[in-house]
Amino acid sequence: MSKALEMAIRSYYGPLTGLILFAVFLQTNQLLTRREKNLFACELTVVGMMLLATSVDVCVSQASEEVQWRARAVASALQFALAPMAPFFLAQLCHPMHRIKQRLFALPVVINFLVAIGSWHTGLVARLGPQGQYIRGPLFVLPFVTVAIYLGWMFVIFSRNSNPGRRMESWSTAAVALVMIGASGIEVILHLRGVLWSTATICLILLFFALTVTKVLYDPLTGTYSRLAYQKRLECIRWKSQITLAMVDMNGLKKINDCLGHGAGDQAICQVAQALSAIRCRGLKVYRYGGDEFVLIGEGLIAGRLERELEGALVRCGTVEGMPVSFAYGVRQGRGAEVEKLLGEVDSQMYVNKAQNLADDDVSHPEPSGGYFGGGQA
């Protein structure tokens, strides 16, 4: 076995095997949507092709000069053409777009692809000299500018994301992009071949598992923590720890669904979730317990402060198509050993609060009497 082939196997066998296993996991995953699976598959294809391009360049290092020249020319053209596609697919992974916007978003990467492939003949981006050395063309920075466009867009959009679940997905994707930038710098500065795309393989697999875990821990509609995360949090509460619990139940969700449709009902649930997620208390996390019920768990004895924050959240709920959105709540604090007792007390307090809200609403908006509508002439 030649030294070049041995080096290629050592450098790329692990990453390529990882990509194959990742493709199997991707097809069997039931949590990701079809769109997310397709984007992961595109990212997998790009990374796989880049690994093959760089490995072919190594494998032919012992071949004739003409074969080496052609192999390096093809490999370099593919690298310049495909490299910006990695951040392009990553950016779309956590930010869905309409078809028209998606086409406009793809314009920079399409232009770069065509120019880089054509550069094999035109030399606009780069070309190989007679001795196999790279000669920069007038558009050498085009692939790097294209990558910078997508990375900059990713960080701007991700920083504006207020949904906790989507924010976690976004920053996981951004972390992968940063690691790949670091690997690219190491490869360029230290002249180490294969570092970037081997690192990209590992990051892609880690991102896949991170997004899968996110699907489990976060509620897909509201972005708050899921009921499974709530159950795990209860299991982790220590007996001697001090905690504060709050239970929230929406008022009038059935009326909103009946009058405005379930889409408006979902919007109302999301508005309540956003109002609750904006509460800032020590160690506080919001969990969607059921359809229109939420549980808040905070660290320490902060019942008084949490009640004030919940009153502020009521104001932030707003309206849905003119119908007010509100909720009833109960708050209790105590030790972790009393968590079951506290849950029972907070649930009872919440329903007393809810009954009071219904009574107040009946007084403010009394139903017309039957005689008013049905009364006729004697």
Residue 313: its pLDDT value, please?
93
Please give the average per-residue pLDDT across 338-361, as a whole number: 84
Would you say residue 132 has pLDDT above 80?
no
Question: How many CB atoms neighbour CB 41 within 10 A?
Answer: 15
- Give 100-109 pLDDT, tens digit per residue: 788 889 999 9
Residue 164: its pLDDT value, please?
66
- Give 192-208 pLDDT, tens digit per residue: 766 788 888 888 888 88
Would you say residue 217 has pLDDT above 50?
yes
What pTM was computed for the model? Answer: 0.71
- Give 20-71 pLDDT, tens digit per residue: 888 998 888 888 888 889 999 999 999 888 888 777 766 666 667 777 777 7
